Amino acid sequence: VTCADPKLLNQVLYNATKGALSSRSTLEINCQNVGLKFHGETPGNGNCFFEAVSSQLQRLKYPVQLSPQQLRHHAVAFLKDNQLLQ
């Protein structure tokens, strides 16, 4: 695509970004479908997955409450104890 046709360029840019614009909505709907809630951004501290899981467990009042650090510790211990490749 060249800039010779601004309408075509505009359409290409629109098509390229429309999926990205709806990805948040898609994520929110997917979370709702399984009883979870989308909270937006998680801290960029390397524990984002564990932050998200801990948050959902607290929100759902899961009987065992674990901090993100505790979840990470248990996951690493499980992986060490259950290695498939040595």
pLDDT tens, position by position, 3-48: 667 788 777 777 777 666 577 788 888 888 888 888 877 777 888 8
Expressed as residue numbers, the domain containing 47 is 41-86
Q: Where are the alpha helices (DSSP H) in 34-84?
A: 48-59, 68-81
- Say if residue 83's pLDDT is above 90: no
Structure tokens at 41: 């951004």
For position 36, what pLDDT does the model report? 85
For position 86, what pLDDT does the model report? 60
> Half-sphere exposure (CA, 13 Å, Cβ side) for 43?
9
> How many domains, the chain?
2
What pTM does this model have? 0.59
- For residue 68, the tally of other CB atoms under 10 A from its CB is 20
Same domain, 26 and 50: no
Same domain, 48 and 85: yes
- Say if residue 50's pLDDT is above 70: yes
Same domain, 51 and 15: no
Structure tokens at 10: 């505009």
CA dihedral for 64, 65, 69, 71, sign (positive or negative) = positive
Mean pLDDT, residues 48-55 taken together:
90
* Triad 24, 59, 46: Cα angle to 5°: 60
Same domain, 26 and 49: no
